[in-house]
Amino acid sequence: MTTNGYARPDMIVSTEWVAQNLHDTDKFRLVESNEDVLVYSSGHIPNAVHIDWIADLNDPIRRDYIGKEEFEALMSRSGITNDTTVIFYGDKNNWWAAYALWVFQLFGHKNVRIMDGGRQKWIAEGRELTREVPQFGPTDYKAQPRADRTIRAFRDDVLQHIEQNKPLVDVRSPQEYRGELLHMPGSPQEGALRGGHIRGAVNVPWSKAVNEDGTFKSPEELRQIYEGEQGLNPQDDVIAYCRIGERSSHTWFVLTYLLGYQSVRNYDGSWTEWGNLVGVPIENPSRAEVEA
């Protein structure tokens, strides 16, 4: 599919590869997942199904993901079997594609890939788009119980991480990290009562890992960003977080599959949870103080 110096080069495919294989729907399923859930209807890659990160992956009542039965139903109506190779792509340099891929892995679907460059690169190359929604027959998908204790971190895990002085990576914008904003620049400033970052976390914005065309940076460039500049190493036990876990899933993918880190977890509670908790350690440089 692709050859490069990444730890797991099989985890990404090129736009050219997708263009050559998009009609092989018996083996592969293209999945588009975007921040803007209306983008898919404006034009998507032929034979790509749409997975809405809100309606399809999140529980409608609890702040949590869907359960095993709901995931099996989603796979069935998307025409995905346990043996299907699922290739994700989307807007925003694939951060929502990485988020959907991460959720798929929570349920044990390991045969996944990301299309390098996402929608941005596909469109920039003038490749085919369609508004036709593909129809695939239902499948008898069997999911594993959700693996919440492997690639996912919870509040108590983060507190333990702080006590043990293990690395935390805050992948939000510098303004969010410093406590000047509660959400990305240009977005409604909502979701948390306090600004700042988790005590001891380093700031590596997720977007540093991608080039202008949306593709991932080279292994050498990525190692310089995470290891040369921040002192991480592949043996570290790392927790990444952002605001709701979507941007940090992109960093989780980079560290896990492109750089080969053995223990990376995504704290999907992220700042929306942490910034609303009572008594947790917060650093807020914009206020020149540390909140206990």
Alpha-carbon distances of 107 from 115, 259, 270, 292, rounded to whole Å: 21, 23, 21, 36
Looking at residue 1, what is its pLDDT? 43
Looking at residue 267, what is its pLDDT? 98
Looking at residue 288, what is its pLDDT? 57
- Strand boundaries in 44-179, DSSP class E: 48-50, 85-89, 112-115, 168-170
Q: What is the pLDDT along the chain (292 residues), one digit of tens a residue?
A: 445 799 999 999 999 999 999 999 999 999 999 999 899 999 999 999 999 999 999 999 999 999 999 999 999 999 999 999 999 999 999 999 999 999 999 999 999 999 999 999 999 999 999 999 999 999 999 999 998 989 999 999 999 999 999 999 999 999 999 999 988 887 877 889 999 999 999 999 999 999 999 999 999 999 999 999 999 999 999 999 999 999 999 999 999 999 999 999 999 999 999 999 999 999 998 775 444 4
Looking at residue 290, what is its pLDDT? 47
Distance, in Å, from the CA atom of 49 to the CA atom of 232, rounded to the nearest integer, reads: 37
Distance, in Å, from the CA atom of 89 to the CA atom of 273, rounded to the nearest integer, reads: 27
Is 155-291 the same fold as 9-124?
yes
Assigned CATH for 9-124:
3.40.250.10
Domain ranges of the chain: 9-124, 155-291
| Catalytic sites, residue numbers | 242
Backbone φ, ψ for residue 31 (5° rounding): -125, 125
Looking at residue 286, what is its pLDDT? 79
Question: What does the block give as tokens for 252?
Answer: 């989780």
CATH topology of domain 155-291: Oxidized Rhodanese; domain 1 (3.40.250)
